[in-house]
Structure formats: structure tokens, C-alpha cells
Structure 1
Amino acid sequence: MSAARPRLLYVTDLAYQARGRRYCDEDIHLAARLRERFDLALCHPRDAVALMDGFDAVVVRNSGPVLGYRSEYEAFRARALATGALVYNPLTGKADMAGKQYLLDLSAAGFPVIPTVGRAEDLHLLPAADAYVVKPRLGADSLGMRIVPAGQVAPLATGDVLIQPCVDFAYEVSFYFVDDDFQYALYAPDPERRWELEPYAATAADLEFARRFVDWNDLGSGIQRVDACRAPDGGLLLVELEDLNPYLSLEALPEEAAEAFVTAFTASLSRFVQGALSPA
């Protein structure tokens, strides 16, 4: 399909509830801005397969945790890969869009991540701790996450969960990228109120840390959020690399910074779609 203005199917769940945040507001704002450049329609993730063939590209934004519609998401991926449909972010991501296995792989490879194992026989590889975090491999937004005493963790390490030591971190910080370009950073000064974010002045060392994971993922085009925590030794450890539908927390930014992000996002998406639609 071709048109003077590319046609976008914008996948979002406007009814998704998140603690302390209204994801729908972000997508209403972004969709309004994208309409300046594209013909655009919004749909729920459960409807994407039925509608996607009528559009030049699909943009996956605040579509909620995949756990809520796992079969529909797998059908969407299968359909997109089979037809060569343009999906932004591209479905080649190796991080959250493919599950949590990457945390095990990066931990085993010595990357600066929170130490992570999945099996009882590997628990000895983790630092000793009074308590451990147990997460489903297919979890998101802390769904199914538990904190358990050290003496109770072994029976839970069944291979379908991730086990990490509880880290007494100072704060969490997120670095936001469009394509390979850093855009802004936000942090939560109070670990007990992770949803209350403030602008963060990233240092050169911080950006070197974050870029290491963006380079590893090699996504090419798209939005990525590198979530980290400031460990007791002062260094950063990866918590999550979100490459499917990262919430952007644009409301926490000064107006100028938010506008700069929207401009970068729109330009990236335009290059992505026009590059694929242009005749060879």
C-alpha cells in the first residue's frame, strides 16, 4: 500500500491502569502530534491482527503488559513476521519484547545487571542476601513479583521465574533513547514511590553504561528505555531494558525537553516508514 501520507495503526490500550500515571494521556498527545505527518487510527492490542493489513505500518506504544493478551500478541508477531509488515519498534529486539531471558544471559556474560538466575542449582551464583526478588519470566510492571526470605527461595526456582537478590539501591533512573540517540533521563528519588519521576542530569559515565545495552540490543530504529538502579557501591546496575512499549513519562519533563523528544520520535518514525515505502 502506498499513499501521499503513510497510514499508521497506532496500538494502545487507553483503558490501561497504572499506579500514579495515566498512560492514555501520553498516547492521546503523541497520536495528535503524529497526525500532522501521518493518517492514523488507534486500536487495542487485541484488534491489531484484524486491522494491520490495512495500514502501511504499525506503531506499538502503551499497549500494556503482554501477559494480559499473550495469545493475541503472539498472533500479531507471527502475522507481522509472515507478511513483512512494518512494526515500530521492530520485532528484532532482544530485550523485554522477547521475554526476560536476556537478564539471565547478560548476567552470565558479566554485564552490569542485577545478578540473575533462574534455577535452584544456580542460586549459589548470586550474592548472599537476606531476601530475594522472584519475578515471572514473562512478567511486566511488577506483575507477579514477590520478595521472599532467603530460606524460602529455593523451592520457587523452578525455571519459569527469575531470582535476584534484593538490592538496597539509592534510587532508580531511566535513560530514554530514540534510535541510538539519547534523549533524556528521569529518576525516582524515593525508591518507595517509583512513579514519581524527576529530570536527571546524566553523566558521561551514566550514558556509557546505558549505551552499552542499546548497542547490545542493536535495534536500529525505535524507542528504548534503559532502567537502572544506583547500587550501594555507587555504580549502576540494569533493572530492565524495555524495547517493546516503554512508557515515556513525558509529563515529568520540561516542555522544551518533551517537545524535543516528540520531534525526534516523529523524525525517526518518518525515516523508518518512508525508507521502507520508497521505491528501490
Structure 2
Amino acid sequence: MPAPRPRLLYVTDLAYPARGRRYCDEDIALTARLRQDFDLALCHPLDATTLMDGFDAVVVRNSGPVLGYQQAYDAFRAAATARGTRVYNPLTGRADMAGKQYLLDLTAAGYPVIPTIDDPGALDRLPETASYAVKPKAGADSIGLEFLPRERLAGLSYGDVLVQPRIDFVHEVSFYYVDDAFQYALYAPDPARRWDLQPYEATGADLAFARRFIDWNTLDHGIQRVDACRTRDGELLLVELEDLNPYLSLDLVDDATREAFARAMADSLRAFLAA
């Protein structure tokens, strides 16, 4: 008799109205492929805590910004930790999964990241620019983001917000990883159209840049997206390190790349379950 296949609870908000993206299409297509390897059921993030005991692992995918259900998400994390539930990505992520503190930590450590502060006494560490990005530490999907001139920064209510210079960049580029293995890259040639993405041929220097952040995060298993901007002098700076539920834009890559990603994810999940 064949061994039972692993059972996965795949967490997604199929109705989330993402700007410029269709979460539902990506997760429907990806789960259809993963069913070749796993027994799988989809659920809304608000139902994950109730349902997860019947599965070998919980896979958190396009579940939307947790700001919309913070209390339920915190309860899910606490329950999963208490019960020893396997969650993919693992809940030990140090980047967006834990809020925006990592941008401060990486700035302080000298990593190539957009300079970030959360203290009015540190304003002199930011370069002079026409305006500055102010964002909540717990923000996601540009929720709460605003741009202010320097003279208004001293009057902010610091503690829950981050301040960064608004970078005049050439384009944004994202690097997609399964575990520590690079899968593909996409970029937005027009800075005003973040989700109008095209395939990008990453150079060795690009991948060395992205790999620094993958190594820093120390996740043995999981999906990560390294978002960066290229400045006018050609330098890459980290914008975000997505390790909770990064959208993958799989509809924009070719069939071979999409299949290679799904195969890498399936292999990663099997190794994660066996660990």
C-alpha cells in the first residue's frame, strides 16, 4: 500500500484586492501544480488556526497584509508555536515577517539598504533629498506611506514610524528565492508602475547583492523575495526583504521557469517536512 501523501493547509485570501496583482490566479495555479505532490486544501487566513491540526504543515502564501487581521494572525502564530505546527515559511523569519525593524538593523550594520531611521535625533544621518518616505513599522503594501519635506520630519510622532530618503532610482528589481536557491528575477522599468514587471537577466553582482540578505535572514526553508532599487549611479539598495507571504508574479515568467519554481517549492516542502 503506498505511503500517505503529506497534507498541506494552504493559506490564501483569494478575494484580497491587491493593486496590479491577482492573488487568486497565482494561488489557484500554484496549488493545482502542488497537488501532484501533496494532498492540499485552501483556507482563508482567519480560518487557519481552527483547521491546521488536521494537516502536516501550514503553507502561508498570498494571505494579504496582516494589519487587516493582526489579532487573528498573532493568535495563529501563538497557537502554531504552542502546538509545534510546521509553518512554511517558518515563523523564525527576521525580515518583514517580524515587522520593519530589520531595515534599521541592516542600516546600522552597514548593509546596502535605503538608509532608515526611527529617531528624530538621527535625522542628520539621512542624505538631503527633496522629500522623505514615512511609513509605519508594521506597514505592508504601502499602507500608511506618505512623503514629507525635511522640515516636517522633526514634528513626527516617532516610535511607530520609519523615515527614509525618497530615492531617485532608475528601476526596481526583485529576486525570487526558494530556500537559498535563486529562481528568477523581474524588474519594473518604469518607477511609477511598480507591478508592471518584465523578466530581468540578473548579473553575478546582482545575485551577490541579493544573496547577502538571504544569508542574513537564516531561513533554512521557505520562499523569499528581495526587492531592490537601482540608483542613478548603478548601485542596488534594498527596499524590502519579503519573507512572510511574498507575491511571486508567476504569470509573468515563462512555462519552464514557472515549472522549475513549483518543483523547487515542492522539494523544499518535502525537505521541510522531513527535517
Instruction: Quickly name the TM-score band, shorter chain normalised.
Output: over 0.9
Q: Is the 8 A contact 1:157 1:163 kept in 2?
A: no
Number of aligned residue pairs: 273
Using the TM superposition, give the Cα deviation of residue 232 of structure 1 relative to its aligned residue in structure 2, in angstroms: 2.1
1:191 aligned partner, one-letter code: P
Query: CA deviation digits over 1:146-175, x for unaligned, max 9?
Result: 011111122125110010001000000000
Q: Which letter does structure 1 place at the counterpart of 2:35?
A: R
How does the TM-score come out when normalised to structure 1? 0.96
Partner of 1:167: 167
How far apart in 2 are the matches of 1:201 and 1:78?
40
- In the other structure, the counterpart of 2:74 is 74
Cα deviation, 1:57-102, whole Å, max 9, x if unaligned, reads 0000000001011001111111111111100001110000000000
Q: Aligned partners of 1:156, 1:130: CA distance in 2, in Å?
A: 17
Which residue is equivalent to 1:65?
A: 65
Matched, 1:251 2:244: no
Provide the rounded CA distance (Å) in 2 between the counterparts of 1:49 and 1:79: 7
Counterpart CA distance in 2 for 1:90 and 1:209 is 23
Aligned-residue Cα RMSD (Å) equals 0.9
- Corresponding residue of 2:113: 113
Give the Cα–Cα distance (whole angstroms) in 2 for the partners of residues 47 and 154 of structure 1.
42
Identity, % of aligned positions: 69
Is the contact made by 1:95 and 1:242 (CA closer than 8 Å) also made in structure 2? yes
Q: What's 2:17 paired with?
A: 17
Question: C-alpha distance in 2, partners of 1:52/1:13?
Answer: 16
d(CA) in 2 for partners of 1:258, 1:252? 9
- For residue 186 of structure 1, give the secondary structure of its aligned residue in structure 2: strand
Q: Which runs of 5+ in 2 are unaligned?
A: none
| Cα distance per residue 1:17-50 (max 9 Å; x no partner) | 1112111100001111111111111111111111
The ranges of structure 1 where at least 4 consecutive aligned residues each deviate by more than 4 angstroms after the TM superposition are none
* Structure 1: gaps of 5 or more residues: none
CA deviation map 1:103-160 (0-9, x unaligned): 0010011100000001111111111112100000000110110011111122125110
What TM-score comes out, normalization by structure 2 length? 0.97
Aligned to 2:5: 5
- Is 1:184 the counterpart of 2:179? The answer is no
SS at match of 2:170: coil
Structure 1 Cα separation of the partners of residues 84 and 122 of structure 2: 39
